[in-house]
Structures are given as C-alpha cells and as structure tokens.
Amino acid sequence: MSVAALAAQIRAGKRRAAAVVEDRLADIAARDRLLNCFTEVTAARARAEAAAVDAKVAAGIDPGPLAGVPVAVKNLFDLEGIATLAGSKIERDSPPAARDGYLVRKLTAAGAVMLGALNMDEYAYGFSTENAHEGPSRNPHDATRIAGGSSGGSAAAVAAGLVPLTLGSDTNGSIRVPASLCGIWGVKPTYGRLSRHGSFPFVGAFDHLGPFARELDDLALAYNLLQGDDPEDPHQTFPGLQPVDTVPEIGGLRIAVADGHFARGGHPEAFAAVAAVAQALGATRRVTLPHAAEGRAAAFLITMAEGANLHMKNLRARPGDFDFATRDRFLAGALLPAHWITQAQRLRALYRAEVLKLFQEVDVILAPATPFVAPQIGQATIEVDGEEIPVRPNLGVYTQPISCIGLPVIAAPLADPAAIGTPEGLPIGVQIIGAPWAEATLFRVAAALAKMGVCAAPPLPRGN
C-alpha cells in the first residue's frame, strides 16, 4: 500500500495509526535482527504519536497528508532526546538532541510517526554501511550482500518493507548507491534545496539530504513536504516552493545518455540498465560531461580535507574510537597540501561551469547509479575491466562526479533486473540527472518510466 493510501485510510478512520505502529514494531523486532537497519527503535515515541493521530481523527481534525505513516531516519538526523550518532562510537557520549532536525519536524508536522534511527557508515564516510560499531546492514534481496551506503539502513528498511519512507543523506552518492543496490527510489535534490539544519555534517560543500521510498508517488509526496525555507540553515538556497508531480510528460524533453567516464569502469549490468531506460525513453543522443573523472578526483580530495578538519579534535584525542578505515582516511586528509585542495576547488568550479553549459543543449542525462550489483559483505576487491579494484571507493564512481557539483538526481530502480542480466537477478538502478532546480522535470521522466513498467522497486525474493 502506498503512503498516500495508508494515510487516507487512517484519516478516514478505516485503520488506526496505533495498530499500524504495533504491526511495524512487531515486524522490526522479528526481521531486523538479520537486516540490522535500526540502531534505535523509538517505540514509546511512535506509540504516543500514533495515539495523537488517532485522537485527531476521532475529533474530526485532519492529521495531515502523512497521517499515521511510519517513518525512520538515518542516524545523523537529530531526534529529540536521543544522541545523534552519525554511525560513530564517539558521539554516544554526546548529549541527547534538544529537538528534532528540520526535515524530521516537516515529516511529523504532516502526521508521520517516527519509528527510529537507522544504521549508516561512520560519519557518512563510506558506500557500504559495514559499520564497525553497529555491524553491517544487510541487503533485503540477499542478506549476504551489502545494502550500500552510507545511507544503507535507510534504503534497506524501505526495500524490506519495515517502513515505507525514510530519510538519508548524500555527499558523494549515499542516497543513490544504496537505492540502486536495494532496488528502490531515492532523490538527491539540488544542493541547498532542502535544509540541513539538525543533521550531522560531513562535507559542507557536498552534503545533501533526501528521502527514499518504494513507490515513486511516495517519493514525490515526501519531497514536496520536505521543502521549506529554514532561516536556521544559513547555507540553504531556497528558490521558493517548487512542487513536483508524477504526471508522465516527456514530450519535447531533450534526453541524452552520458558517455566517456560513465560508459566505462563497470560491469555489463550497469550499462544494460542505462540502455534499457534510454530505449524506453527514445533517447539516442550521447553526451560527454567534460572532466568528470577529474571532478571525481577533486571530490575525493575535498572530502578528505573537509572531513579531517571537522573531526580533528577527536582524531587527536580519541583516535582509537574511530572505525580504523574512517580514521585513516581522515588522517590522510589532514596531511593533504593546501595547494592540492586549492587546485581541486578550481577544477571543481571549471567542471561545474562546463556541465551547466551542457544543460543548454539537453534537459536530462542518464547514467549508471552503481558500477555493479551489491557485493558480498566483507568483499574487499572486485574485478572490473580485467583489473582487481577496491570495492568501497569504486561504488561511487558514477555518483561522485554529480554530487560534487550539486545537480539534482533521481535514482530509479530497474523493475526487472533479471531481464537485463544482473547476477542472480539482483537490483540495480539508473541516475536521472538534471540541471539545478529541475527536480520537477526529473520526476516527470521517472513517472514515464514507471508507467511503462521499466522502473519500479522489484519484489523481494520469496520469504524475505
């Protein structure tokens, strides 16, 4: 059942929010022992919020468009009364959040019921959610495989049906990578579109926040509700409310496929997914994003440097409390020459300007979301183009060049991944990329793909 349909039933008194919450809590207790999506289940809060929704319905008051809908958020979002972990051990010693983060408040103001916080890579620095402190989140399509990251708990919880809607963050691909590997929809809005206030930062120059859902309509509903001008976020660039819809209108749109960097460095299924989407949309033009590989390299350096700067105090005082892999990357970032970072920022600015020129010629660009399907938990390397390469950093090979210049993207799951030959029929997704503030166009393209049956969340294997 879609989010909108569930909320409509609750508003109409056909279902009670309290009963929905108890059903979700029981399911989480039974299945999350394996999947490991949740790091905190806020059962008391959920029951209280559900009771408040039911009381409003009984009094003839509309609780909102998300009336009684269970939601959960990556554990870098502030939840009142709970320490914001950001996937770390160190932050367990932090005081509880004094109030919910801005986007959390937007959801609950719309009637949503908060079920808890979700697993992630430590300090959002990773693509696999193999957390050294909480353990790995497991892919609902194959529990021996990763869910992706860093928002792995958020994606896996939606893919498994534990909750219908979650929030994540995306710095270098942390919404799009797990959405692809878990086979669900995700949106990384334009940089600055949604407030980041009340979320733990990673790289201020790249951080984005956004929702996950199994249904495109639910993703659009959540995205619309999350918009708003937040005076407490000085870095937000809010162009005014720009609601999106899921009417499949693509007539006249200039849709192209990214080549060059985005047509190499992956397994056949990554390119087959893009080809299937392009064929359905009638997209035959190919375009090159100039300096995409160099832009990705610049993103690596800026990420390392900003992350190291943010965590320098604890790197000095508590180095043993970090995940060793996170710590070593931060330490490496602290040692980077200033000259390198200056050059990386110059390259990034040049790259962004050139890509924006490209959007004078096309409206939408299609690219792979991940270079392969979900690897095994603990898998260190994978063969690509005859070369053994590290798994974790290369999961972001196609996402990093997009987020570092702030473009909006919808991660669209292939409805029938087995039809394009993915190993064991595992999910994979495609990036639908637009110019800044063009989210409405992206949702129309996604809606066309959903209507044609090309893109949708594939069903879980029987028994999952």
Domain boundaries, the chain: 3-301+324-451
The predicted pLDDT at position 397 comes to 98
In sign, the C-alpha dihedral spanning 340, 341, 344, 345 is negative
CB 418 within 8 A of CB 427: no
Q: How confident is the model at residue 302 (pLDDT cuts 50, 70, 90)?
A: very high
The predicted pLDDT at position 462 comes to 77
The predicted pLDDT at position 57 comes to 98
Q: Which of 150, 154, 169, 180 is catalytic?
A: 150
**Mean pLDDT of the region 40-60:** 98
CA 226/CA 229 separation, integer angstroms: 10
The predicted pLDDT at position 461 comes to 86
Q: Cα torsion at 189, 135, 20, 44 (round to 10°)? A: -100
Pairing of strands 255-258, 364-368: parallel
Quick check: is 150 catalytic?
yes
Question: Which are the contacts of 417, defined by CB distance < 8 A and separation ≥ 6?
Answer: 183, 269, 273, 373, 425, 426, 427, 428, 458
Q: How confident is the model at residue 111 (pLDDT cuts 50, 70, 90)?
A: very high
Q: Is pLDDT above 90 for 161?
A: yes
Quick check: is 174 catalytic?
yes
The predicted pLDDT at position 238 comes to 86
CA 415/CA 459 separation, integer angstroms: 8
Tokens at residue 62, please? 């509309």
The predicted pLDDT at position 447 comes to 98
Give the H/E segment covering residue 11: helix 3-11
The predicted pLDDT at position 269 comes to 98
Q: Is pLDDT above 80 for 290?
A: yes
Tokens at residue 251, please? 């007539």
CA 354/CA 82 separation, integer angstroms: 44
Q: Which of 88, 174, 180, 403 is catalytic?
A: 174
Q: Is pLDDT above 90 for 218?
A: yes
Q: How confident is the model at residue 193 (pLDDT cuts 50, 70, 90)?
A: very high
* Nearest partner of 190 among 155, 248, 237, judged by Cα: 237
**Mean pLDDT of the region 193-219:** 98
The predicted pLDDT at position 114 comes to 98
CB neighbourhood size of 369 (10 A): 32
**Mean pLDDT of the region 366-370:** 98
Average model confidence (pLDDT) for the chain?
Answer: 97
Three-class SS state of 157: helix
Tokens at residue 48, please? 């209280």
**What architecture does CATH give domain 3-301+324-451?**
Alpha-Beta Complex (3.90)
Three-class SS state of 178: helix
Beta bridge partners of 114: 71
CA 147/CA 131 separation, integer angstroms: 11
Q: Is pLDDT above 80 for 430?
A: yes
**Mean pLDDT of the region 329-348:** 97
Q: Cα–Cα–Cα angle for 276, 280, 282, nearest 5°? A: 115
The predicted pLDDT at position 202 comes to 98
Alpha helices (H) in 152-267, listed in sequence order:
152-159, 176-182, 216-226
Q: What share of the chain in percent tops pLDDT 90?
A: 98
Alpha helices (H) in 364-438, listed in sequence order:
391-394, 400-403
Q: Is pLDDT above 80 for 412?
A: yes
Q: Is pLDDT above 80 for 158?
A: yes
Q: Is pLDDT above 90 for 464?
A: no
The predicted pLDDT at position 463 comes to 72
Q: Is pLDDT above 90 for 139?
A: yes
Tokens 């990034």, located at residue: 348
Q: Is pLDDT above 80 for 79?
A: yes
φ and ψ of 407, to 5 deg: -75, 150
DSSP 90: G
Tokens at residue 71, please? 């939601």
Quick check: is 74 catalytic?
yes
